């Protein structure tokens, strides 16, 4: 009985703490609402990825545990989402349908207190944000196994939208079905990339099943829910969305599979002290042109973290180059370097400066 009494007292303490936490969250939201009112008068944007990045970084620095950095970020993502919603409802376009990895990345970044709208393809996301039907869009740009998402890169050449944030989303595949039994499966639905990433597991465990390709892993989950004897390779979140059981978890052949997503919008993002700047450019079609354009980066000591090329579509054997460097365009070293590069290019366009994704959220550092 003494132990029961002690547990009861501890639970009473937790209830009292929860009451204080709830009161403080509501105080925070009321303050955020006032800030939103002032932002409206000033003409400022509600979503401020620089401010949110700095806030999370500061809280992680003063966190003494046992709350993990990951849990802290998750909790405050939802609190900040609620604050944005009370200031001005946010609408986010993403590559649908529900429970795609793009959708999951969008939820992880913006929280659940916003309106998410699935789009059929990546160009539709760009158009929706350009027309201001949605405040932001979330698009995939590269995968650690499959490489660049060329559709996204090509669209930046035509669009005036900016990169406002980046998200690194670990990709893990589960086998899902209505029954949850591997013995009931005759056909498996999934996206071609998911099949490719789970080839070894499928060969070892379900070599005789028919594999049928779908436009997305989420669409595969929807099909599996509607058909007896079928299963889907999709995310664990898809199981919840489409009311499926997990037959097997983490069936991907390579564990360290991460997709980088970009948040696109019309905002210019303020420096945080830990940023990236993305640019694209076209060089002359002469020997040594690329070397000369990249030389200012080397001479400045700025770290280049990405270099990608795409056909320019303007002329055969002419290429656009995409470069990410550490630092913000407002920093003199970055600004001066980009100006030097522009003088050596036929065309150069800055795609945005934005906070670097947190190290413990990208699945690779």
* Domain CATH code at residue 309: 3.30.70.260
Quick check: is 263 in a domain?
A: no
Residue 276 sits in the same domain as residue 349: yes
Quick check: is 33 in a domain?
A: yes
Q: Which pLDDT value is given to residue 198? A: 93
Quick check: is 330 in a domain?
A: yes
Residue 356 sits in the same domain as residue 281: yes
Quick check: is 13 in a domain?
A: yes
Quick check: is 8 in a domain?
A: yes
DSSP state of 359: G
Residue 365 sits in the same domain as residue 273: yes
Task: Give every CB contact of residue 265 below 8 A, 6+ residues apart in sequence.
Answer: 47, 129, 135, 136, 137, 161, 162, 164
Quick check: is 115 in a domain?
A: no
Helices (H), 192-342: 192-197, 199-205, 217-226, 236-241, 289-300, 332-342
Quick check: is 347 in a domain?
A: yes
Give me the phi and psi of 331, to 5 degrees please. Answer: -80, 130
Q: Which pLDDT value is given to residue 32? A: 85
With beta carbons less than 8 A apart as the criterion, state whether 45 and 77 touch.
Answer: no
Q: Which pLDDT value is given to residue 34? A: 86
Quick check: is 355 in a domain?
A: yes
Residue 241 sits in the same domain as residue 274: no
The domain that contains 70 carries what CATH number?
1.20.59.10
The domain that contains 194 carries what CATH number?
3.40.190.10
99-148 tens-digit pLDDT: 899 999 999 999 888 899 999 999 999 999 999 999 999 999 998 888 88
Q: Which pLDDT value is given to residue 362? A: 44
Q: Which residues of the chain are modeled with pLDDT < 50?
A: 360-365
Q: Which pLDDT value is given to residue 235? A: 92
Which of 67, 87, 107 finishes a domain? 87
pTM over 0.75: yes
Q: Which pLDDT value is given to residue 239? A: 93
Q: Which residue, 237, 239, 235, 231, is CA-closest to 212?
A: 231
Domain around 15: 2-87
For helices 69-87 and 49-62, what crossing angle results, to 10°? 140
Q: Which pLDDT value is given to residue 51? A: 83
Residue 281 sits in the same domain as residue 227: no
Report the number of distinct structural domains present in the chain. Answer: 3
């Amino acid at each position: 009985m003494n132990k029961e009494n002690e547990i009861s007292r501890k639970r009473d303490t937790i209830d009292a703490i929860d009451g204080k936490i709830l009161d403080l969250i509501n105080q925070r939201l009321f303050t955020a609402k006032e800030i939103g009112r002032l932002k409206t008068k000033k003409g400022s944007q509600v979503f401020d990825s620089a401010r949110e990045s700095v806030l999370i970084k500061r809280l992680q620095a003063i966190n003494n545990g046992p709350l993990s950095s990951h849990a802290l970020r998750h909790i405050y993502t939802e609190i900040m989402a609620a604050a944005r919603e009370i200031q001005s409802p946010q609408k986010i376009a993403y590559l649908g349908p529900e429970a795609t990895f793009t959708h999951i990345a969008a939820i992880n970044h913006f929280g659940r207190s916003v309106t998410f709208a699935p789009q059929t393809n990546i160009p539709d996301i760009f158009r929706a944000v350009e027309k201001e039907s949605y405040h932001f869009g979330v698009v995939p740009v590269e995968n650690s196994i499959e490489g660049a998402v060329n559709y996204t890169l090509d669209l930046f050449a035509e669009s005036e939208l900016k990169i406002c944030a980046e998200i690194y989303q670990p990709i893990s595949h589960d086998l899902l079905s209505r029954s949850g039994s591997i013995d009931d499966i005759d056909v498996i639905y999934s996206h071609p990339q998911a099949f490719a990433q789970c080839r070894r597991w499928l060969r070892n465990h379900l070599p005789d099943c028919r594999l049928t390709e779908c436009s997305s892993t989420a669409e595969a989950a929807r099909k599996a829910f509607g058909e007896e004897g079928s299963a889907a390779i999709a995310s664990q979140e898809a199981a919840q969305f489409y009311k499926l059981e997990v037959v097997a978890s983490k069936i991907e052949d390579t564990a360290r599979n991460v997709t980088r997503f970009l948040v696109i919008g019309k905002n210019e993002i303020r420096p945080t002290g830990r940023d990236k700047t993305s640019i694209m450019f076209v060089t002359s079609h002469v020997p040594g042109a690329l070397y000369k354009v990249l030389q200012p980066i080397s001479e400045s000591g700025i770290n280049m973290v990405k270099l990608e090329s795409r056909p320019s579509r303007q002329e055969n054997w002419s290429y656009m180059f995409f470069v990410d460097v550490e630092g913000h365009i407002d920093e003199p070293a970055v600004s001066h370097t980009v100006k030097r590069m522009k003088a050596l290019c036929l065309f150069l366009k800055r795609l945005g400066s934005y906070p670097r994704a947190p190290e413990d959220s990208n699945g690779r550092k």
